[in-house]
């Protein structure tokens, strides 16, 4: 390898930044390319904006030679280019605009023999049918003039036990040489690389992983709705079923499915199915069930307030504005559709979260309570959406006039659970 950079990571978000830091820690020469100048400035100052990457790790990476930049010229001397840009949904269809922009940017700057790896979640065929033609557009041949592979990200935010290094990395190359180069690249950072026969297998494996979670979450969410109508504790049911040592994996219900993967990735699968004349009905139904959960929570709140105070006059305190406990990430968090449903009923919900300072619902900024203890005592109903470790659940349960726990973490008679 004779480039200035062993690897250039394009997109320094929740996927790209941990990858860049891990590569630097493995002794690789790393540059990070991002169009957000503010992000780049933060990294150069040794400050992280990602929960799972500490400031000290950024400082150490910079000391090891990691460079963050907005200048695409770094691509001209990269042995490998790894694309980690967002692939959101737009009108329920995959939006690959950021991927296309990144690939085109790399195509005109790629040095001979360089490896390109796409990590962004997408549908099967993207690497070979979308990315490959752009890179080969100048007459270059894959496997000879450049190398191309797909390797899905497997980041589990907030899980200190599973990092990039000890999570197996799937790699699918367009050719055997492409797969070998990608395997060698990731082999310097992770303990185990799993090579599959082609990029489509790797692309679909990623979708299967998160669709599996979506479907099973939908099953237990649907069960929670049924249990509420029958007066059965769904949490006790899940705990009891979980004692079976084979054939069962416990999933927990919740107020909604947030984050950047589960609400999005299965839609890539259904989109791909339509193109192949196949309909993933189970996936579609799971999506519908999970999307209904915030409405179910609103209905439960209204029901619990019945006979106490009209919902429009009630002081409703929502605790937890992130999609996962102990993270500062509020993407897709259930608090937004829940607050929206309450506002439509004339309520003025308030919220608290140790990590989130502001929540906006339809151009309306929710009031963030300054003092948690006083607000819990003053509320007609406290709704626990995320059981952050910063919350003393026993104290909250004791102080609240009515506690509705959607997380199932409060034990005893002090709360009504989802």
Q: Strand pairing of 169-173 and 381-384?
A: unpaired
Spell out a b/e string for 278-299, using b for 16 or more CB atoms within 10 Å of the CB, else e.
eebeebeebbebbebbbebbbe
Q: Kindly tell me the sign of the dihedral angle through the C-alpha atoms of 236, 242, 265, 355.
A: positive
Distance in angstroms between the alpha carbons of the first and the last residue of the chain: 56
Active site residue 84: no
Q: What is the radius of gyration, based on Cα positions, of the chain?
A: 24
Q: Can you spell out the DSSP letters for 135-197?
A: HTTTS--BTTTBEEEE------TT-TT--STTS-EEEEESSHHHHHHHHHHHHTT-S-EEEES
DSSP-based three-state secondary structure for 374: helix
* Residue in 84, 178, 227, 261 annotated catalytic: 261
Task: Give the single-character DSSP code of 266.
Answer: H
Contact (CB, 8 A) for 293 and 332: no
Contact (CB, 8 A) for 105 and 75: yes
Task: Give the single-character DSSP code of 364.
Answer: E
Q: Can you spell out the DSSP letters for 73-120?
A: GGGGGBSEEEE-----EETTEE--HHHHHHHHHHHTTPPTT-EEEE-S
CA distance 20 to 153: 13
Q: Is residue 351 within a helix (H) or strand (E), and if so which, with residue range?
A: strand 350-352
What amino acid positions are annotated as catalytic residues? 261
């Amino acid at each position: 390898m004779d480039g200035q950079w062993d690897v250039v990571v394009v997109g320094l978000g929740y996927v790209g930044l941990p990858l860049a830091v891990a590569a630097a820690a493995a002794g690789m020469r790393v540059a990070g390319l991002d169009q957000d100048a503010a992000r780049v400035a933060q990294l150069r100052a040794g400050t992280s904006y990602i929960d799972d990457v500490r400031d000290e790790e950024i400082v150490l990476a910079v000391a090891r030679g990691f460079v963050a930049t907005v200048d695409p010229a770094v691509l001209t001397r990269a042995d490998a280019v790894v694309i980690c840009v967002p692939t959101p949904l737009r009108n329920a269809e995959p939006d690959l605009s950021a991927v296309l922009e990144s690939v085109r940017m790399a195509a005109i700057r790629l040095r001979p023999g360089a490896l390109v790896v796409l990590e962004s979640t997408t549908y099967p065929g993207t690497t070979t049918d979308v990315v490959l033609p752009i890179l080969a557009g100048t007459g270059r041949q894959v496997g000879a003039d450049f190398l191309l592979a797909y390797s899905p990200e497997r980041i589990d935010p907030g899980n200190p036990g599973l990092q990039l290094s000890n999570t197996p990395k799937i790699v699918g190359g367009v050719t055997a040489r492409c797969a070998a180069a990608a395997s060698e690249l990731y082999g310097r950072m992770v303990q185990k690389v799993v090579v599959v026969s082609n990029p489509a297998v790797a692309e679909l494996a990623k979708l299967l992983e998160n669709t599996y979670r979506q479907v099973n979450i939908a099953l237990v969410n649907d069960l929670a709705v049924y249990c509420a109508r029958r007066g059965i504790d769904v949490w006790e049911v899940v705990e009891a079923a979980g004692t079976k040592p084979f054939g069962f994996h416990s999933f927990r219900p919740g107020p909604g499915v947030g984050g950047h993967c589960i609400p999005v990735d299965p839609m890539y699968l259904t989109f791909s199915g339509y193109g192949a004349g196949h309909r993933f009905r189970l996936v579609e139904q799971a999506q519908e069930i999970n999307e209904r959960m915030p409405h179910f929570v609103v209905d439960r709140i209204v029901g619990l307030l019945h006979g106490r105070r009209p919902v429009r006059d009630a002081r409703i305190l929502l605790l937890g504005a992130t999609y996962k406990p102990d993270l500062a990430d509020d993407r897709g968090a259930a608090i937004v559709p829940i607050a929206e449903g309450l506002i439509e009923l004339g309520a003025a919900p308030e919220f608290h979260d140790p990590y989130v300072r502001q929540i906006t619902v339809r151009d309306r900024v929710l009031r963030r309570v300054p003092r948690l203890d006083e607000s819990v005592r003053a509320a007609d109903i406290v709704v626990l959406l995320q059981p952050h470790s910063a919350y003393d659940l026993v104290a909250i349960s004791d102080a609240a006039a009515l506690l509705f726990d959607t997380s199932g973490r409060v034990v005893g008679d002090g709360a009504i659970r989802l």
